[in-house]
Structure 1
Amino acid sequence: MSDPDGGVPIDLVVNGVTRRGAVPPRTSLADFLRDHLGLTGTHLGCEHGVCGACTVLLDGRSVRSCLVLAAQASGRSVRTVEGLSDGDPLNPLQTALADHHGLQCGFCTPGFLMVATELLAEGRDLDEDEVRERLSGNVCRCTGYQGIVEAVLEVARRGTPGRDDSGIPGPR
């Protein structure tokens, strides 16, 4: 149901905070996050769901936020790259990505972080082939992927006490 001004009311939890608003019916989740909430870490690249730069977690599963309407996310939980750490210290995956030189220009980084967070949250033993397969839907034109894969494998191997098996803070 839309309001008389043409906006569709939405109510969702973004990084642990309940957010309410009304948006035009065709507003993408990516545009809502960026333009209405100021969460510009969700990057828009191709806007066709091909590059993966706009990936967020919707109820814990990775989605291309350029392909999901904001209204479709109403009543659900969204986690963006801004929700990966609790402030200044980076989470283990972000630190490992920097340590392994898994970023250069940084445009694709948020999407990779979100897909890797989903993968690591599964808490399974991972090998290089599986990590590459799961990350294959995200495009990077700078790094050659090796550092990204090494960072994910490092976090998977070591985990972090006090967090889930992935070493990644839980949903926010």
Structure 2
Amino acid sequence: MKTLAATAAVVASLWAGAAVAQTPPPEDKALIAYLRERAKEALDTTRYTAAITPDGGTTLVYLTGPNWCGSGGCRLLVLDRAGETYRSVGEISVARAPIRLLEQQTHGRRDLGVYVAGGGITQGYEAAVPFDGRRYAANPTVAPAVRIEDAPGETLIRADEQGRTLEPSPDKP
């Protein structure tokens, strides 16, 4: 029993020292305002899961609901903080979780790994979505995105996450 406790303590200390993705707090008013503006008429059916990259520079937001998903997947927003708001550096149209931050980089930013399936794709796979210097590629099923296997990286948004409901602004009916 002591060995199990000692092992757990070592694992916990290693985990604490590792750079891991952060989840934005639900009260991130700038992110909520950005998402409300994006969702507009779809607020009542929009759910979102968000994660901040370990360096704190980029926020990934996985939108789900009938306005954001189709047979090929759902919408993934890639956002950078710009003062009191966010600016888009990518919008991936057909992504499925898990969403990963890969070790490989393109034009100074780490590639994103998204799962691709459905929409005519019968054998699902993971695709690396690169950055072109301005934006991330919009569609993981075509170049410049590429199919990958066992690429090193870390999961930022898990497939089993339910997401949060995007609530209307309290000052709006």
**TM-score for both structures, normalised by structure 2:** 0.27
Larger radius of gyration: 2
Greater percentage in helix: 1
Greater percentage in strand: 2
Taking CA–CA contacts closer than 8 Å with sequence separation of 6 or more, which of the two structures ends up with the larger relative contact order? Answer: 1
